[in-house]
Chain A
Amino acid sequence: MEYPSSVNLRDPVQKYSKAFATEEDLAIAEAVHKFVDKEIMPRRLDLDGGFHRDRNLAEKTLYEIRKKLVDLGWQRAWFPKEYGGLEMDSSVTYAIFTEELSRGDPDVAELFGTAVWGLQAAMLVNNETVLKRFAPIFCGNEVCDGCFAMTEPAGGCNVEDVYCQHGRTIQTRAELKGDEWVINGQKLWPGPIIDSIIYSTACTIDPEKGDDGIVIIDVPKDTPGLSFSKPEELMGRVCTAKNGSIFYDNVRVPREYCSGAPGGQGAWVLKQMVSSRFDSAAQAVGPAQACLEIATDYLKDRYIVGKPVRDRSLIAATIGEMAMKIQAARSYYLNVAYMFDHPEIYGDSISLQQVARASACKNFATEVAEWICRQAMGLMGSYGYSTGAHVEKYLRDLPIIRIWMGGVHGAMLDVARGEYPFESW
C-alpha cells in the first residue's frame, strides 16, 4: 500500500508555513487539533448551555474541557520554569495554539490568554514577589483565571491608544501611601471578572504625567474594596465569557505588587496591545477555518439537480475565496508574530511599525473571518442558520474579537500611523 504525501490543507502539519513554524509548533498544532476534534467539537454547543441555554451545563462543560487542557500542561506553558511553568516564549507557537483551540471554541482559547495576561506585567520585569505567590497557582493542576483590566467607562479606546493619549485619559488612580498602593476607580469590560486569581490593573498616579504616570498594579482577588458587577449579557460566548465592571474602592495592595517604577509601564501596555492584536487574528482564523470545513463537508452531501452543491462552479469559486482569505489571514498573523519575536531584525516590538502590522493583521483577519462565517451560512441555507450547524455560534462569537483591544477604528488609526505621523483622532 502506498502512502502518498498529503495535500490536505486541513492537516495542521500542512497549513502552517515552516518558514515560521518549527517542528515543535507543528506537533503542538497537531495535538491541539486532535484534542479539539475529540473533546470540543462534540460538546461545543454545550458551551452555550445546549438547547435549553443551561448555564450549569455550560460551566460544567467549560470546566471539563479546560481541566483536560490544564492536565496536559497548557495553562502552565507560558510561565517561568522556576515556578513550575514550561517557559514557552514563542509568539508563533502561541498564535498557532490559539488558532487550533479557537477552531473548537474561541472563548476557550481566550481564557488561556487572559490567564497569562494576569501575570504578564510581573513576568516582563520578573517581579519575584508577585510571581512567587501567584505563578505556582497557575502552574498547578487547577483551572485558573487571570485578568488584565485596562478599559474604562469613559472612552475605552482612549486608554488603549497609548501612542496618542499617553495614559492621560486613565481615570483609575493609584496612590502610594507608605508601603501600600491605594487604588480607586472603575474598569469596564475586562474579563473574566469575579473568579480571577489576580487582576492586573492599568492605573495612573497622575493623568497629567502621561506615560510617566502609568502603573500596572496586580490586585489579588478577595482584596477588600474590590467588587464586581454582574457579567454583561453578550451576543456571543453567552455563558463562557464573564466580562463586566470592576470597582476599586480604596483597594490596598503591597507596594511590591506594582511591577516596576512609573515611567516605563505605558510601553508594557503597548506590548500587550501588539501581541494581543496578532493573537486576536489567530483567534479569528480558527472559527473561519471551522466554518469553511463545515460548509465544504455539508455541500458534499447536499445535492442540487443530481449533483453535489460544491461541484457547481459558482459554489466552488466561493469556497475557493473563503480558503484564500483564510490562508492570507493565517500567513499574515504568522508573519507578524515572527517579526514580534525578532526585534533584533525587525525593530522594537512596540515600534510604530510593529503596532501597525499587528493592528492590520487583526483587522484583516477579523473582517475576513466574519465574511467567511456569513458565506458558510449562506451556502448552507437555512441549515446554516440553525444552531445544530454550529456556524451561527461561530458567527456570534467572532465580532467581539474585532471590537476588543482598541476596536476596529482605533486599530486602523494605528495602521495609518505606520505610514505617516498621525497624532490625533
Chain B
Amino acid sequence: MPDVKMVVCCKQVPDPEAPPTAFKIDPTVNKVTLPRDIKPVIGQYDEFALEAALRIKDKVGGKITVLSLGNNIARDVIKKTLAVGGDELILLEDESFEEGDSWSTAYALAMAIKKIGEYDLIFCGRQSSDWDAGQVGLGIAEILSIPALTLARKVEIIDGKAKVEQVISDGYQVTEIGFPSVITVTSELGNLRYAALKGIMAAAKKQPVVWKPADIGLEPSQVGIAGRRVKLAKLFQPAKDAKCEIVEGESPAEAGANLAVKLREAKII
C-alpha cells in the first residue's frame, strides 16, 4: 500500500542522560528544576516511534507529520525530526500548554490530529522520557475512538494493515491492526537514524507550523495545567535510609546461621 499517512508525536524533554544529581525537586511548588546547562532533547521513545514511521516510509512510501506540544520548543532540537525524514512539523506551542497531564496532553494532540484530517497510523513512544507515564498514546486512541497497539518492536505494512511485533514478557507476539490506529513503540525497534546532510539542508529551509489552542478548537482552560484531570499532590525525593548491621558469630558457619535466622525473622526468606 503506497503512501501511508503517518503522524508521530514527539515530546521535548530534558536530556535523560544528564546526571541524576542535576535534577532538583522543589517540594514547595511540586516542580522539578533543572540547571541551565541541561539541553532539551526529543524523548528517546519518541525517537523510536519516528524511526518506525521512517522505515515504513522507506519501504512503501508515505507522509510523516511530526506533532509536538509544549511551550518554548527549541527549534534546533525539534527540527531534527525533519532532518531525518519527517515531511511536516506541527507545534502545539503556547504558554497554556504547559504543565499538562497525560489527559490534557492526549486531548490536545487528538484534536490536532483531527485537524490534520487524514491519517492512517499515529506513532507515539511507549512513554515519555521525563514523567514515564505511558498514557498519552492510548489516550489519543481513546479520544479518537480508534484501536491501539502497544510496545511495538517492528512495524510493517502488509495488505493495507500494520503487522506489528509487540514485546511481551517472554518474547514477542505478532498482531495485525487496521487503519487508522495508534501504535506505541519501544526501544527494541532501534535507534533513530542519523540525519543525512541532504536532510539537514532541507530541514533548515522548512519552518514548523505553529498552532495555538484556538487553532485546534480548544479553550486555554482545556489544555495544559487548566485541563489537568490528575492533581499532583506531592512531588518529593524519597529519603533513603540505609542501615547496616554486621551479623556476627564465633565461626563463619555460625555467622551464616545467625544471618539466616534474621532473614527468616524479617520474612525475606
Contacts and interface: CB of A to CB of B under 8 A. Distances in A.
Interface stretch (B28-36, B107-115, B149-157): B28-36
A28 B37 contact: no
B76 A74 contact: no
B37 A6 contact: yes
B36 A1 contact: no
A8 B36 CA distance: 8
A4 B198 CA distance: 31
Interface of A is mostly: loop
Contacts of A72: 194-197
B203 interface: yes
B198 A8 contact: no
A24 B76 CA distance: 10
Given A6-B39, A23-B204, A24-B204, A31 B34 contact: no
B76 A31 contact: no
Contact of A5 (B36, B200, B204): B36
Given A3-B14, A72-B194, A28 B36 contact: no
Contacts of B201: 24, 86, 88
Contacts of A1: 14, 31-32, 34, 99, 130
A35 B194 contact: yes
B83 A27 contact: yes
Contacts of B34: 1-4
Contacts of A198: none
A26 B14 CA distance: 20
Nearest to A9: B37
A27 B204 contact: yes
Nearest to B12: A3
A307 interface: no
A88 B39 CA distance: 29
A104 B33 CA distance: 32
A342 interface: no
A131 interface: no
B210 interface: no
A210 B248 CA distance: 93
B31 A8 contact: no
Contacts of B195: 27, 31, 72
A24 B199 CA distance: 10
A22 B76 CA distance: 12
Interface residues of A, number: 28
A27 B76 contact: yes
Contacts of B143: none
A30 interface: yes
A302 interface: no
Interface string B57-77: 000000000000000101010
Interface residues of B, number: 29
Interface string B92-119: 0000000100000000000000000000
A34 B80 CA distance: 12
A24 B195 CA distance: 12
A3 B41 CA distance: 11
B147 interface: no
A231 interface: no
B177 to A, nearest CB: 32
A13 interface: yes
**Residue among B14, B32, B36, B201 with max Cβ neighbours from chain A (10 Å):** B201
Contact of B200 (A6, A7, A8, A27): A27
Interface in B158-177: none
Contact of B204 (A8, A22, A35): A22
B36 A11 contact: no
A31 B200 contact: yes
Nearest to B198: A73
Interface in B179-227: 194-198, 200-201, 203-204
B79 interface: yes
Nearest to A1: B32
Contacts of B83: 27, 31
A77 interface: yes
B40 interface: yes
B141 to A, nearest CB: 25
B196 A3 contact: no
B38 A6 contact: yes
Interface string A10-44: 01010000000011101110110011000000000
B38 A77 contact: no
A88 B198 CA distance: 10
A155 B37 CA distance: 50
15 contacts: A2-B31, A3-B40, A4-B35, A4-B36, A6-B38, A6-B40, A23-B204, A26-B76, A27-B195, A30-B76, A31-B195, A35-B194, A73-B196, A73-B198, A88-B201
The 9 closest A-B pairs by CB, nearest first: A24-B204, A73-B197, A8-B37, A6-B39, A72-B196, A4-B36, A73-B196, A27-B200, A13-B76
